Amino acid sequence: MEQQASVAQFLRDDHKVIRGLFRQIQVLEDRAHEMKPGLLRQLWMELEIHDRLDREILYPALMSVADEGVRGRIVDLLDAHREMRDGIESVKEISPDSEYMQQKMRELRSNVLVHFDDEEHDILGFAERSLHPAKSRELFDEMKQRKQELLALPYYKDAGPERAQNPRGGEQKRKAG
């Protein structure tokens, strides 16, 4: 049976991809260092696009149907997004193999995962309860289209999920998702 496309499930799937990238990068600390730069580029891309989808589509749509308490949570999550963007920019400047990078990545990972848990518990649950299925589908379609537009930007050309550094040299194709 096909699951109904919803904005909440779209974002949960994004969270799953990003959690997986964090795990892959963590594993690469001990081996296959050659793949780390490609995975980092993909992680930055996924986080940046996810941030934009939340800020441009989800949060404005929910603000229009939310009560004061939920709007306050959305404002808190917007602050967390700003902190996440700042964290990403600061980590991007650090050498991928440095001890400091590992420390900053642990901090970023922790902050992102707490944010995802908050978003999934508070906001996505609210979206499922409050949005009409047709509106949820409309937001799903809008997010899917916007993500494709962002993925097509030259800035993300080398960060797509179909490319990863091969530890034996060169690049290899790998399955997305």
95-127 pLDDT per residue, tens: 877 889 889 999 999 999 999 999 999 899 999
Burial per residue of 7-33, b for 16 or more beta-carbon CB atoms within 10 angstroms, e otherwise: bbebbeebbeebeebbebbeebeeebe
Q: How many helices and strands (H and E) does the chain possess?
A: 7, 2
- CATH code, 138: 1.20.120
Residue 142: inside a domain: yes
User: How many domains is the chain partitioned into structurally?
Assistant: 1
* Chain segment 45-65, per-residue pLDDT in tens: 999 999 999 999 999 999 999
Contact (CB, 8 A) for 153 and 52: no
Residue 1: inside a domain: no
Q: Using CA atoms, how far apart are residues 11 and 122, in angstroms rounded to an integer?
A: 13
Task: Return the structure tokens found at 29.
Answer: 């600390």
Q: Is the pTM of this model over 0.75?
A: yes
Range of the domain at 89: 7-165
Instruction: Please report, to the nearest 10 degrees, the dihedral formed by the alpha carbons of residues 117, 76, 61, 11 taken in order.
Output: -20
User: Please, which residues have CB within 8 angstroms of residue 108's CB and are 6 or more apart in sequence?
Assistant: 84, 87, 88, 91
pLDDT bucket at 92, cuts 50 / 70 / 90:
confident
pLDDT at 1 over 90: no
Residue 177: inside a domain: no
- The whole-number pLDDT of residue 8 equals 93
Residue 120: inside a domain: yes
Residue 2: inside a domain: no
Residue 159: inside a domain: yes
Residue 175: inside a domain: no
Residue 174: inside a domain: no
Q: Using CA atoms, how far apart are residues 87 and 112, in angstroms rounded to an integer?
A: 10
Q: Using CA atoms, how far apart are residues 116 and 16, in angstroms rounded to an integer?
A: 10
